[in-house]
Amino acid sequence: MTGRPTVPTAEPGESVLRRAADAGLRLTRARRAVVAALEACTGPTTAADLAERLADVPISSLYRSLAVLVDAGVVARVHETEGIARFELAEAVAGHHHHLVCRSCGTVIDVRPTPSADDTVAGIVEAEAARHGFTATGHHVDIEGVCAACRTP
Amino acid sequence: MTGRPTVPTAEPGESVLRRAADAGLRLTRARRAVVAALEACTGPTTAADLAERLADVPISSLYRSLAVLVDAGVVARVHETEGIARFELAEAVAGHHHHLVCRSCGTVIDVRPTPSADDTVAGIVEAEAARHGFTATGHHVDIEGVCAACRTP
DNA sequence: CCGTAGAATGAGAACGAATCTCAGTTGGGG
DNA sequence: CCCCAACTGAGATTCGTTCTCATTCTACGG
């Protein structure tokens, strides 16, 4: 099975931290702040952007918190471009989604495919993987385009 | 139109360099070597890997050649993970394809979707883009899984 | 409610991929 | 064949990210 884990669990907030705790992590101020900041984003976010929103979290702490949360499976490091990493809540927490990337301004936003659309994609993906001896465990779809704001200046 | 530009143009070799020349680039030894090395790969390749294969091309020259070829539209910088960029021939030259990423050994290989499968994906992708005010210009599908070699040790 | 073990923090140093600089070299149009 | 702008090469530099280590805090047992 490749796609869509479960539907958007009402308010992630709680469950994210609970998962982190279950993974044996302490729920420190920095980690709560990082999770809260990620929840407030509409798409994968750079460490620099997070650092700006979390002015009181030192950069070394921010990166360590992100690394630990990635290890715990509640945050994902995705969509690196131009040598800059972006972070988002993991699909296990935020639900499966695709990314719309504006080739002009670089913004990335999440889009949630309809269940039937994603079933179709998952089926295709699994067939391709199988044809090459792979066992598929997931897929990522990045849609490149131009956003409304950049198209009409 | 989102996907699959044209079918695998017989032997890329020539056409890649011609495109580069058409874009106003000089066909220097370093650039020929980089293109040849990329053609020999089965998937996106790191600069370090290329440097190893092209021992006589200094690292600064390698990166510059790659940057220039990316600008010319014949090479694509894709699939960065852990802060390391990977390069491959652009889809305009190599044809549209998806990526199979082994989560165990990290290898990335290209897979060419069947025309009908990719039409389906392109349609879904376009609908999603349109729903969010984007004009889609392309899509990338990364399939995460475990390769045959890693599954049976 | 308090003490404590050990996990987590914070400031800065260190690391490494990628880019830049600049003097010397070379491709290819004229 | 000549010339000059494009390109190269070695090394310095940048900057995102990770590491180090003394200090602080969390969460658990008493």
**Could you read off the pLDDT of A6-16 as tens digits, one per residue?**
444 444 556 78
Decide the pairing of beta strands A98-102 and A108-111: antiparallel
Which of the following CATH numbers is that of domain B12-151: 3.40.50.720, 3.40.50.970, 3.30.1360.70, 1.10.10.10? 1.10.10.10
Q: CB of residue B26 closer than 7 A to nucleic acid strand C?
A: yes
Query: CA(A30)–C1'(C12) in Å?
Result: 19
Beta bridge partners of B109: B100
Residues facing B135 on adjacent strands: A146
In this predicted structure, the answer to whether residue A4 has a pLDDT above a threshold of 50 is no
User: Is residue A72 within 8 Å of A34, Cβ to Cβ?
Assistant: no
Interface test with B, best of A124, A131, A150, A151 (most B CBs within 10 A): A124
Mean pLDDT of chain A: 87
Q: Are strands B135-146 and B98-102 parallel, antiparallel or unpaired?
A: parallel
CB-CB under 8 Å, A140 with B142: yes
Collect all residues of chain A within an 8 Å Cβ-Cβ radius of residue B121: 121, 124, 141
Q: Are B2 and B125 in contact (CB under 8 A)?
A: yes
C-alpha span between B53 and B61 (Å, rounded)? 14
More confident: B101 or B6: B101
A1 touches chain B (CB under 8 A): no
pLDDT at B149 over 80: yes
* pLDDT value for B12: 53
Tokens standing for residue B13:
């070799």
Please tell me the distance from the alpha carbon of residue B34 to that of residue B5, in angstroms, as a whole number.
23
